[in-house]
Chain A
Amino acid sequence: MTVGITHFLILGLMLFTIGFGGLALTRRHAVRSLIALEIMFLGVHILFIAFARYHSHVHGQIISLFILAVAAAEAAIGLALLVAFFRTSQKMGLKDMTELKE
């Protein structure tokens, strides 16, 4: 296999950048920023697992497992917050969350 760690690192960084761009650019629908966060997490997963393979020990995979659990918790809380916000205001854009600014 001529594909080395560099290819995986580039892939992970590209995914991270795509997710970051999506997080920075989407303002219309708050669920889409959570999706962008998940894509960033995916890039970080690939980086950790590629490093674990490169150094051929298992610690990177365990960190990746921890990231996965924390990401699941974050998604649950973020979606619960969104639903609570939608119930009170009937809107769900990030642009609409400006009550504390005013």
Chain B
Amino acid sequence: MKKRVRKWASLTISGAVIALLAAGCSGGGSESKSSGAGAAQGGASPSAATSAGFAYDGKGPVTDKPGTLKILATNSWYNNVDLAKAPIVQEIAKRAGVTVDWELLAPGTYQDAINPRLAAGRDLPDIVYNTDQDQTMKNIQAGLFVPLNEYIDKYGVNVKKMFEKYPDLKASLTTPDGKIYYLPQLAVTKNYMPLWMVNVKWLEKLSLGEPATLDEFTEMLRKFKTGDPNGNGKADEIPMTMDPKFLGMAFGTSFGLDLSNLFYADDGGKVHYSYYEPAYKEYLAYLNGLYKEGLLESDYASTTSDQVTSKFSQDISGVTFNFSWHQSMTYSPLYKDYDPSKPLIKGIAPLKGPHGDAFYLGRNPITGIFGVSKDAKDPELAFKFLDYASSEEAKEIYAWGLEGQTYTVADGKKQFTEQGKDNDFIQQFGINPVNMPIEQSVDATDVLVAPWHAQLDKEMEKYIKPPYPFIYALAEEASVENTIMPDITTYTTEMEAKFITGKESLDNFDKYLGTLKSMGIEDVLKGRQAQYDRYLAAGK
């Protein structure tokens, strides 16, 4: 690795004299015109830190001198994959002409692990990845990360393009005083979102149609429980199973609530807190009903996604809620009689609730942020690396891998190779590396999943409602939230479980609302409203 970087570096140094020419070349290559314009802009700005004549043009390499960057980020969700050694990650560093010294931690507890380090605030690596988006600006105000505006103006060829493409992102990432501190890692927002999935065979067996309303859904669960849909003569069916983190997302939308982000804005621009809404009582009453009838598992709160998979593989469960991806990539292939041309565990349209609400929640497009730390030895280099790593070129590599290895191009269309379709192989290869500013690609997913799945996904697009945007809080708002919200979080999560399991009667719901009020939820809402108003104003 190191050797190769040296070679690249020496190549570029020897070519430093003709660097301007190189910049010109890249502009005239296969890239679009806007890239050429960006390159010209980058070349025109004076770059004091790098040697004269070298100008970063948005393409690799980002420097003509050997440079090393320390980056703290998450490792793969797969235990047996080390992203620091993954070919895709190494290729990006190689093309950037930078040696990266990765420090990658397990993703599950990543933020908890780095929070004390950020609090200590000393000897931070050059670039730090955060899954917590610093909404209350604690790390920003502590001066842990440097503002990037100047670098974006000078060198942010690709970042600027990204912000042009997604103006909302720029609005989200801009602090109230107009600065930008973090660069985003992006998720697709309208495709392959979490949704309800049902076992089509079970529906056929019981001559049921796909449920369209919440009532039909409940009826379906009852029939799954008693009608022996798996046909083994035993009443071993657990009609519905899911990872409890999806529960609120799954049922909340039928009552018009966003129990995933908790805060949401209505059409009139008013901000609500889902746990503090009258509709939340209906949600609780409904789930309490399911719990009492045994349609919601008694140990629903401790179900793991592995257990969900296991229940499908034993054919004892018929419904779940999870990311769309799992339909044809995880669950359907578990069945021996699965025919890849037809869905088996299939996504359905959102369930219409008692007041006609029917939608699925989109994801916040920002899944993580990269900041250049105050301790960075060469913040300019760190920024340039991030800019390059956010380029379309890099994003192609994240999504598709390397040509000839994971994909081939035929008639101008990319196709994954056999290896490229092998999940284990591509994970080892570093596909969609979570330690990079990736942007998930719908095109790449479309060719990876079963054709019925890709088609179904496009039908679901119209049901996706954008989530509450990410907006920074001012210091006073943040201080109020930091004081009040931790206890409210404890209270609401505890009460939700109690109401659902019937430990607490729903007659006490008004008392619950009163407690929330006395705990100060309205002060938090006031702050959130002010933030949302600022966000709307910034978008105008």
Q: Do A and B bind each other?
A: no
